[in-house]
Chains A and B, each alone.
Chain A
Amino acid sequence: MDWYVFTFLTQDGLTTGAIYALIALALVLVFAVTRVILVGQGDFVTLSALTLATLQAGKTPATVWLLLGGASLVCVKMLAAAAREGRLAQAPRILLMQMTLPCVLALVCWLVEPATLPGALKVLLSIVIIAPLGPVLYRLVYQPVAQASVLQLLIISVAIHIAVIGISLWIFGAEGFRTLPFTSGNLDLGEVSISLQSVLVIGIALALIVALYLFFGHTLYGKALRATAFNQRGAQLVGVPTDLAGSHAFLLAAIIGAVSGILIGPITTLYYDSGFLITLKGFVAAIIGGMASYPLAAAGAFLVGLLESFASFWVSAYKEVIVFTLVLPVLLWLSLTTHHVEEEQH
Chain B
Amino acid sequence: MSGDKLLEVQGLYACYGKVDALLDISLRMRRGEIVSVIGPNGAGKTTLLSALIGLVSSEGDVRYAGQALTRYHNVAERVSRGISLVPESRELFAPMTVEDNLLLGAFSRHRQGHRDQHSTLAEVYALFPRLKERRTQAAGTLSGGERQMLAMGRALMARPTLLMLDEPSLGLAPKIIGEIFQIIRDLRSTGVSVLLVEQNARAALKSSDYGYVLENGEVALEGPAAELADNPSVIDTYLGRKKKNTAPVEELTAIG
Is B one of A's binding partners? yes
Mask, B101-133, CB within 8 Å of A = 1, is: 001111110110000000000000000000000
Assess whether A10 is interfacial by the CB under 8 Å rule.
no
Assess whether B79 is interfacial by the CB under 8 Å rule.
yes
Q: Are B80 and A230 closer than 8 Å at their CB atoms?
A: no
A236–B89 Cα distance when bound, in Å, is 14
Among residues of B, the one whose C-beta sits closest to the C-beta of A82 is B73
Assess whether B158 is interfacial by the CB under 8 Å rule.
yes
Q: Are B53 and A227 closer than 8 Å at their CB atoms?
A: no
A85–B57 Cα distance when bound, in Å, is 13
Question: Which of chain A's residues have a CB closer than 8 A to the CB of B79?
Answer: 237-239
Assess whether B96 is interfacial by the CB under 8 Å rule.
yes
Assess whether B75 is interfacial by the CB under 8 Å rule.
yes
Among residues of B, the one whose C-beta sits closest to the C-beta of A240 is B107
Among residues of A, the one whose C-beta sits closest to the C-beta of B90 is A234
Q: Are B107 and A85 closer than 8 Å at their CB atoms?
A: no
Q: Which residue in A85, A223, A241 is a CB contact (below 8 Å) of B104?
A: A223
We find that the number of chain B residues with CB closer than 8 angstroms to chain A is 31
Assess whether A194 is interfacial by the CB under 8 Å rule.
no
Assess whether A280 is interfacial by the CB under 8 Å rule.
no
Q: Which residue in B55, B74, B110, B158 is a CB contact (below 8 Å) of A241?
A: B74
Q: Are A241 and B93 closer than 8 Å at their CB atoms?
A: no
Assess whether B46 is interfacial by the CB under 8 Å rule.
no
Known: A230-B94, A238-B158. Contact between A224 and B73, CB under 8 A? no
Q: Which residue in A87, A227, A237 is a CB contact (below 8 Å) of B87?
A: A237
Main secondary structure of the interface of A (DSSP, over half): helix
Q: Are B76 and A236 closer than 8 Å at their CB atoms?
A: yes
A236–B79 Cα distance when bound, in Å, is 9
User: Which among A85, A227, A238 has the highest number of chain B CB atoms within 10 Å?
Assistant: A238
Assess whether A231 is interfacial by the CB under 8 Å rule.
yes
A159–B100 Cα distance when bound, in Å, is 38
Among residues of B, the one whose C-beta sits closest to the C-beta of A85 is B73
Assess whether A35 is interfacial by the CB under 8 Å rule.
no
Assess whether A220 is interfacial by the CB under 8 Å rule.
yes
Assess whether B224 is interfacial by the CB under 8 Å rule.
no
Q: Which residue in A224, A231, A237, A244 is a CB contact (below 8 Å) of B53?
A: A237
A231–B155 Cα distance when bound, in Å, is 15
Known: A220-B107, A236-B76. 12 other contacts (CB 8 A): A85-B73, A220-B103, A223-B100, A227-B93, A227-B100, A234-B91, A237-B75, A237-B79, A237-B84, A238-B105, A239-B108, A244-B76
Write the residues of chain A forming the contact surface with B, with a CB cutoff of 8 angstroms: 85, 87, 220, 223-224, 226-227, 230-231, 233-241, 244
Write the residues of chain B forming the contact surface with A, with a CB cutoff of 8 angstroms: 53, 55, 73-76, 79-80, 84-85, 87, 89, 91-96, 100, 103-108, 110-111, 154-155, 157-158
Identify 6 residue pairs between A and B in the complex whose beta-carbon atoms are under 8 Å apart, listed by A's number.
A227-B93, A227-B100, A238-B105, A239-B79, A240-B107, A241-B74
